[in-house]
Amino acid sequence: MNEKPFFSPSLMCMDLLDIKNQVNILNSRADFYHVDIMDGHFVKNITLSPDFVKVLSTISTIPIDCHLMVTSPDDYIESLAKAGAGYICPHAETINTDAFRIINKIRSLGCKVGVVLNPATPLSYIQHYIHLVDKITIMSVDPGFAGQPFIREMLDKIREAKRLKQENGYHYLIEIDGSCNEKTYAELYNAGVEVFILGTSGLFNLDADLEKAWDKMREIFRTQTGQ
């Protein structure tokens, strides 16, 4: 049986003119804040930044999870740790030459370590350090933009991550990023997802009032999964 689900609002989808109020609402409801750091190179978009994390950390009461959609993650790790990141999660595709050094650096700075896999990247790509990570994020859309359709082939990757975790006693959380909403909750939860990143369709577009939007999300999730 799956554990209690965790929810991580994607702050690139929030109303950035109302950050403080929305964070105050989410502090008592969410489990993590998902902060996308993009460089305009690894993905053709630029969103949030270490400076945003620094400001967020002054009002957040839950861990800040930084997703590094950047070509050179090492350039961001120290500044994000100093800014208040709880998790630092580079893409597996960007750390192939120095994965162990990156993992050790993140942990030495007091942060938890995550790794993110693009839809076309198999779990076998991280097999030699999978036991070292605290969280695996499986992209269920191609990275870089919100509002994309769900890639169903990722359900098998989620099941594989769950099987490996159970068989080997690994401690990582299994997280999904992309198209988490009423159309996918049941399949994702049953496949083994533990952390659900909530964006426009899953949370912020459900109601103009974020408290009501959260309540609607939880009711939808309970209806779909029983949790």
Asked if residue 63 belongs to a domain, the reply is yes
Tell me whether residue 149 is in a domain. Answer: yes
Type of residue numbered 179: S
- Identify which of 198, 176, 223, 224 has the alpha carbon closest to the alpha carbon of residue 26: 198
State the binding site for substrate.
Answer: 67, 144-147, 177-179, 199-201
Q: What is the spatial distance between Cα 191 and Cα 48, in angstroms, rounded to a whole number? A: 30
Q: What CATH number is attached to the domain comprising 164?
A: 3.20.20.70
Annotated binding site for a divalent metal cation: 34, 36, 67, 177
Task: Give just the sign of the alpha carbon dihedral 48, 53, 56, 61.
Answer: positive
Residue-range definition of the domain harbouring residue 52: 6-225
Domain-embedded: residue 1: no
182 within domain boundaries? yes
Task: Report the domain count for the chain.
Answer: 1
Side chain identity at 40, as an amino acid letter? G
Cα 141 to Cα 161: distance, rounded to the nearest angstrom: 17
What single-letter DSSP state applies at residue 202?
A: I
Residues tagged active-site: 36, 177
- Residues 63-83 have pLDDT tens digits of 999 999 999 999 999 999 999
What are the tens digits of pLDDT across the range 120-166?
999 999 999 999 999 999 999 988 666 678 999 999 999 999 999 99
Sequence length of the chain is 227
pTM, two decimals, is 0.95
